[in-house]
Chains A and B, each alone.
Chain A
Amino acid sequence: MISQEFDFEAPSALPEALALLARHGDDATLLSGGMSLMPMTTLGLVQPGMIISLNHIAELDYVREDGNELRIGALTRHADVAADPLIGAHAALLAEAASLIGDVQVRNRGTIGGSIAHADPAANYLPAMLALGARLRLQSEAGERSVEAKDFVKGIMTTAIETGEMLTEIAIPKLAAGTGCSYQRLVRVEGNFAIVIAAAITEPGRKAARVGLGNVAPGPVLVDVSGHLGNGLDDAALAAIGDAAFDAAAEAASDLAGDANYRREMARVFARRAVQSATDAADAG
Chain B
Amino acid sequence: MKKSIEVTVNGKSQSVEVDTRMVLADMLRENLRLTGTHIGCGTGSCGACTVMLDGRTVKSCSVLAADADGRSVQTVEGLSTSAVSLHPVQEAMVENQGLQCGYCTPGMVLSAVELLNKNPDPTEDEIRHGIAGNLCRCTGYHFVVTSIQAAAKSMKEGA
Contact = CB atoms under 8 A, between A and B. Distances in A.
Interface string B51-77: 001001111011110110110000000
Contacts of B139: none
How many chain A residues sit at the interface, stated as a range, is 20 to 34
Contacts of B57: 104-105, 108
Most B CB within 10 A of own CB, among A4, A31, A103: A103
Interface residues of B, number: 35
Contacts of B133: 102-106, 191
B114 interface: yes
Interface in A1-59: 1-8, 10, 31, 34-35, 38-39, 42-43, 51, 53, 55-56
B26 A1 contact: yes
A8 B70 contact: no
Contact of A39 (B3, B58, B62, B111): B62
A190 interface: yes
B67 A10 contact: yes
A109 B59 contact: yes
SS of B interface (majority): mixed
A148 B70 CA distance: 36
B132 interface: yes
- The 10 A-B pairs of least Cβ separation, nearest first, read A103-B133, A39-B43, A38-B62, A8-B20, A2-B21, A108-B56, A103-B132, A105-B133, A109-B58, A39-B44
Interface of A: 1-8, 10, 31, 34-35, 38-39, 42-43, 51, 53, 55-56, 79, 102-106, 108-109, 190-191
Interface of B: 1, 3, 19-23, 26, 42-45, 47, 50, 53, 56-59, 61-64, 66-67, 69-70, 111, 114-115, 129-130, 132-134
